[in-house]
């Protein structure tokens, strides 16, 4: 079935998606439902990716680095020409808010599924956008938007505004190039870091300074406009749960939002869109002062994202709409499918971003293979671009999936989402699943007592220390091994089964595991009624954890969003580990060394920064794990290093 526009013209028949991962998959699904042929593009790193397999056609656009593929305008347009695509959907990120790309599409006679280039340009730089909004009568956060970018001027303006302040990249988003500064003494270092990250991520080091609201709620409004002068808002989303200014959990509607404030914020968002002659999907982001509850006179414009947002599924959840279909219809020249009076929110929706990262190590992104992946999708929506066996590479965002739950109430949605995340099984990579489950169960979250400081305040609770294996964990791992042996028996020959069968009495076997350098034993007792598992002197029932065998023969136990990995005890490996010491700091992933803080001969203390590594478009500080003396520095600023490359060596402690 081919969809047509409102005036009977045929919708474009071929759509190229200039993106990757879950958003490419999500666009493909809607386009397929609308009878539109889809064309995927891919880099060398994504040749076997899910979006490539799903599309009707796929074309290679370059090597793995985004600058040589997904950010390469000529390669995208060449692919569109080769495939005969009449339209390009940019997704989000990459070229989605690139004015040059939107203009190049127009020049090539290809429909850009997004706003006009002039609207992208007007809202693309935060300082210009704020000035424009102020002229349009939309309240903006107090701050400095000037062209004088000297450190002295910026520091002086920050002092005038009053600490704490926020340094923000004018061309940025996603928390990149953003730093909170609490005192004048910290300003210079924060400014240098923000500029460096902004230059790397956006090619523009310019920043603005704005007042940091001490109890802020990050609330944004989904807007839609067509080319016929119509504009509506699709209500608000609360994105206050953030880490390093990156959204973690989003929901709609915002907790505690009154009808008066919803109307005021929605009207301000529509006014912002009309001020730039907007068309298509956009999001107007506001900061609200929640120190005295949400009030209609206590919110300010922050920025406008001229694209579809990562968190758009929660809006779809409460409206029942397909926002990608709306995008395609508006891009084809149709009027908006509904008027403001025909729109109303229904129930509550919450989205959690499931990342490959290690919360125990400062949420350091994880790279590697998803050896085991099973989403608990009953009653929830899972937007993903990966499958079991796929790799999370160092080249792109480490998101595994977005998991979205809808309920009649906020409590119902939160319970559904927490249950789904707790029963999702992932092994091969560390994830933030258990962290998300704890956040969704938190009493303050459930009571709606949230702001952008929620995660930093509760970090010790949300990310507790790593726990040791419990006896029931060892029993579950041993039970898995015993069951695996039975399944491996050739031809089902019972006499070959390693199941401890005896005509009389019981047989015992000791299975040994290692975890975090510790040797752990469980006895398997084979009896007529099956196996018993003994740890110490106690008979232990195996836990209900899901269990999987990894490629290196380790055993992964998955329960409650946590994945614990046990290795079969190897005395030779243990001996080698005992004889080695941590005498260096290495790169935890491939990246670029951007700063070195120490030199040979320096004495450092535990936690002291040693170097800064840029990886996955973010900066990561490498710190000393203990008091030590620097023996040598093995890298210099500007070096591209691989995972495991030694950056700093310490002098070994002398024996007493």
Read off the pTM. 0.83
Give Cβ neighbours of residue 344 (< 8 Å, ≥ 6 apart). none
Q: What's the confidence (pLDDT) of residue 573?
A: 55
Six token digits for residue 492: 């089902």
617: pLDDT strictly greater than 90: no
Helix (H, G, I), strand (E, B) or coil at 55: coil
Task: Report yes or no: 449 and 468 within 8 Å, Cβ to Cβ.
Answer: no
Smallest Cα–Cα separation from 146: which of 137, 158, 135, 138? 158
Beta strands per DSSP E along 132-245: 143-144, 165-169, 178-181, 207-211, 216-225, 231-243
Lowest mean pLDDT among 225-234, 483-492, 582-591: 483-492
For the chain, the distance separating the N- and C-terminal CA atoms, rounded to the nearest angstrom, is: 81
575: pLDDT strictly greater than 70: no
What b-and-e string marks burial along 198-234, b requiring 16 or more CB atoms within 10 Å of the CB? bebbbebbbbbbbbbbeebbbbbbbbbbbbeebbbbb
Helix (H, G, I), strand (E, B) or coil at 44: helix
- Verify whether residue 502 is a known catalytic residue: no
pLDDT tens string 535-555: 999 999 999 999 999 999 999
Q: What's the confidence (pLDDT) of residue 494?
A: 59
Task: Report yes or no: 501 and 482 within 8 Å, Cβ to Cβ.
Answer: no
Band (117; pLDDT cuts 50, 70, 90): very high
Q: What's the confidence (pLDDT) of residue 492?
A: 57
Q: Output the CA angle 419-402-620, nearest 5 degrees.
A: 110
CA distance 381 to 374: 14
576: pLDDT strictly greater than 50: no
Q: What's the confidence (pLDDT) of residue 579?
A: 40
pLDDT tens string 462-477: 999 989 999 999 999 9
* β-pair type (609-615, 618-623): antiparallel
Q: What's the confidence (pLDDT) of residue 571?
A: 66
Six token digits for residue 453: 């400081």
Band (501; pLDDT cuts 50, 70, 90): low
CA torsion 423-428-430-435 (nearest 10°) is 0
Rounded mean pLDDT of 310-316? Answer: 98
- Domain architecture of the chain: domains with CATH: 14-113 (3.40.50.20), 142-211 (3.30.1490.20), 471-573 (3.30.700.40), 581-650 (2.40.50.100)
Six token digits for residue 488: 């491996």
Q: What is the mean pLDDT of the chain?
A: 91
Between 635 and 577, residue with greater pLDDT: 635
Q: What's the confidence (pLDDT) of residue 187?
A: 97
Cis amide prior to 182 (ω within 30 degrees): no
Task: Report yes or no: 561 and 352 within 8 Å, Cβ to Cβ.
Answer: no
Give Cβ neighbours of residue 29 (< 8 Å, ≥ 6 apart). 54
CA distance 566 to 480: 12
The three-state (H, E, C) secondary structure of 584-612, written as one string: EEECCCCEEEEEECCCCCCEECCCCEEEE
Task: Report yes or no: 51 and 385 within 8 Å, Cβ to Cβ.
Answer: yes
Q: What's the confidence (pLDDT) of residue 454?
A: 96
Q: What's the confidence (pLDDT) of residue 493?
A: 60
39: pLDDT strictly greater than 60: yes
Six token digits for residue 586: 């290495």
257: pLDDT strictly greater than 70: yes
Lowest mean pLDDT among 57-66, 373-382, 413-422: 373-382
CA distance 560 to 79: 44
Rounded mean pLDDT of 423-449? Answer: 97
Six token digits for residue 65: 């680095």
Band (600; pLDDT cuts 50, 70, 90): very high
Count the neighbouring beta carbons within 10 Å of the beta carbon of residue 57: 17
DSSP H or E run through 154: helix 151-161
Provide Rg for the chain, Cα atoms: 27
* β-pair type (37-43, 14-17): parallel
Taken in order 82, 86, 92, 98, the sign of the CA dihedral is: positive
Taken in order 238, 245, 354, 479, the sign of the CA dihedral is: negative
CA distance 15 to 85: 5
Q: What's the confidence (pLDDT) of residue 512?
A: 94
Q: Considering the candidates 195, 262, 307, 472, report the single residue annotated as catalytic.
A: 307
* Residue with token string 């998955």: 558
Q: What's the confidence (pLDDT) of residue 82?
A: 98
Task: Report yes or no: 31 and 38 within 8 Å, Cβ to Cβ.
Answer: yes
136 phi, psi to nearest 5 deg = -85, 0
What b-and-e string marks burial along 338-362, b requiring 16 or more CB atoms within 10 Å of the CB? eeeeebebebbbbbbbbbbbbbeee
577: pLDDT strictly greater than 80: no
Between 555 and 585, residue with greater pLDDT: 555
510: pLDDT strictly greater than 50: yes
Band (647; pLDDT cuts 50, 70, 90): very high
* Residue with token string 């090539």: 108
Q: What's the confidence (pLDDT) of residue 495?
A: 55
403: pLDDT strictly greater than 60: yes
CA distance 153 to 143: 13
Q: Output the CA angle 356-361-367, nearest 5 degrees.
A: 30
Task: Report yes or no: 19 and 92 within 8 Å, Cβ to Cβ.
Answer: yes
CA torsion 574-576-579-582 (nearest 10°) is -90
DSSP H or E run through 150: none
Strand ranges of the sheet holding 507-515, from the earlier edge strand across to the other edge:
538-539, 530-535, 518-527, 507-515, 562-568, 555-559, 546-549
502: pLDDT strictly greater than 60: no
pLDDT tens string 326-355: 999 999 999 999 999 999 999 999 999 999
What DSSP line would sit under 533-548, residue for residue? Answer: EEETTEE-PPP--EEE
CA distance 592 to 598: 17
The three-state (H, E, C) secondary structure of 468-513, written as one string: CCCHHHHHHHHHHHHHHHHHCCHHHCHHHCCCCCCCCCCEEEEEEE
CA distance 272 to 13: 33
Return the percentage of the chain with pLDDT > 70, whole number: 93
Count the neighbouring beta carbons within 10 Å of the beta carbon of residue 290: 24
Helix (H, G, I), strand (E, B) or coil at 631: strand
Rounded mean pLDDT of 284-308? Answer: 90
CA distance 455 to 352: 14
213: pLDDT strictly greater than 90: no
Output helix, strand, coil percentages for the chain, rounded to the nearest 5: 30, 30, 40
Band (245; pLDDT cuts 50, 70, 90): confident
Task: Report yes or no: 43 and 395 within 8 Å, Cβ to Cβ.
Answer: yes
pLDDT tens string 7-33: 444 589 999 999 999 999 999 999 999
Rounded mean pLDDT of 191-216? Answer: 89
Task: Report yes or no: 233 and 282 within 8 Å, Cβ to Cβ.
Answer: no
């Amino acid at each position: 079935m081919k969809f047509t526009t409102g005036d009977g013209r045929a919708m474009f028949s071929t759509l190229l998606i200039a993106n990757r991962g879950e958003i490419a998959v999500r666009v493909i699904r809607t386009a397929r439902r609308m009878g539109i042929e889809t064309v995927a593009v891919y880099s060398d790193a994504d040749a076997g990716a899910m979006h490539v397999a799903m599309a009707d056609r796929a074309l290679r656009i370059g090597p793995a680095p985004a600058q040589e593929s997904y950010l390469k305008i000529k390669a995208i347009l060449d692919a569109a020409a080769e495939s005969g695509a009449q339209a390009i959907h940019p997704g989000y990120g990459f070229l989605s808010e690139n004015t040059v790309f939107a203009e190049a599409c127009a020049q090539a006679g290809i429909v850009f599924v997004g706003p006009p280039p002039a609207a992208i340009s007007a809202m693309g730089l935060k300082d210009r956008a704020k000035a424009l909004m102020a002229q349009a009568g939309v309240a903006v956060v107090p701050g400095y938007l000037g062209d004088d970018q000297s450190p002295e001027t910026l520091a002086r303006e920050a002092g005038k505004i009053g600490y704490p302040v926020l340094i923000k990249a004018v061309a940025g988003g996603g928390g990149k190039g953003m730093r909170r500064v609490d005192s004048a003494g910290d300003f210079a270092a924060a400014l240098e870091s923000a500029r460096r990250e902004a230059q790397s991520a956006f090619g523009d080091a310019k920043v603005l300074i704005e007042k940091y609201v001490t109890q802020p709620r990050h609330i944004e409004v989904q807007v839609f406009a067509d080319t016929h002068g119509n504009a509506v808002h699709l209500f608000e989303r609360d994105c206050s749960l953030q880490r390093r200014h990156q959204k973690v959990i989003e929901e709609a509607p915002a907790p505690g939002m009154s009808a008066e404030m919803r109307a005021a914020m929605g009207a301000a968002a529509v006014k912002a869109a009309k001020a730039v002659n907007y068309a298509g999907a956009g999001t107007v982001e506001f900061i609200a002062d929640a120190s005295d509850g949400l009030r209609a006179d206590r919110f300010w414009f922050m920025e406008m994202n001229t694209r579809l947002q990562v968190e758009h599924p929660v809006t779809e959840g409460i409206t029942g709409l397909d926002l990608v279909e709306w995008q395609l219809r508006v891009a084809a020249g149709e009027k908006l499918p509904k008027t403001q009076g025909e729109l109303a929110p229904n129930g509550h929706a919450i989205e959690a971003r499931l990342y490959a990262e290690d919360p125990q190590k400062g949420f350091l992104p994880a790279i590697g293979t998803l050896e085991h992946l099973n989403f608990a999708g009953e009653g929830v929506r899972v937007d993903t671009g990966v499958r079991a066996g796929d790799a999370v590479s160092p080249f792109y965002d480490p998101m595994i999936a977005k998991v979205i739950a809808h309920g009649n109430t906020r409590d119902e949605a939160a319970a559904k989402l927490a249950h789904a995340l707790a029963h999702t099984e992932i092994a091969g990579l560390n994830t933030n699943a258990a962290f998300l489950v704890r956040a969704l169960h938190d009493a303050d979250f459930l009571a709606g007592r949230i702001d952008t400081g929620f995660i930093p305040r509760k970090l010790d609770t949300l990310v507790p220390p790593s726990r040791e294996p419990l006896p029931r964990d060892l029993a579950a791992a041993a039970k898995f091994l015993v069951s695996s042996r039975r399944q491996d028996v050739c031809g089902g020959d019972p006499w070959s089964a390693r199941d401890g069968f005896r005509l009389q009495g019981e047989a015992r076997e000791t299975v040994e595991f290692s975890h975090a350098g510790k040797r752990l034993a469980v006895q398997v007792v084979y009896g007529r009624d099956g196996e018993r598992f003994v740890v110490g002197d106690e008979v232990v029932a195996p836990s209900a954890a899901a269990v999987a065998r990894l490629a290196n023969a380790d055993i992964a136990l998955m329960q409650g969003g946590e994945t614990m990995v046990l290795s079969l005890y190897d005395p030779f490996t243990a001996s080698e580990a005992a004889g080695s010491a941590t005498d260096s700091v290495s790169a935890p992933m491939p990246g670029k060394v951007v700063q070195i803080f120490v030199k040979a001969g320096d004495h450092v203390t535990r936690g002291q920064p040693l170097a800064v590594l840029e990886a996955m478009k973010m900066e990561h500080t490498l710190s000393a794990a203990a008091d030590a003396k620097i023996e040598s520095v093995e890298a210099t600023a500007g070096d591209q290093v691989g995972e495991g490359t030694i950056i700093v060596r310490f002098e070994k402690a002398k024996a007493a």
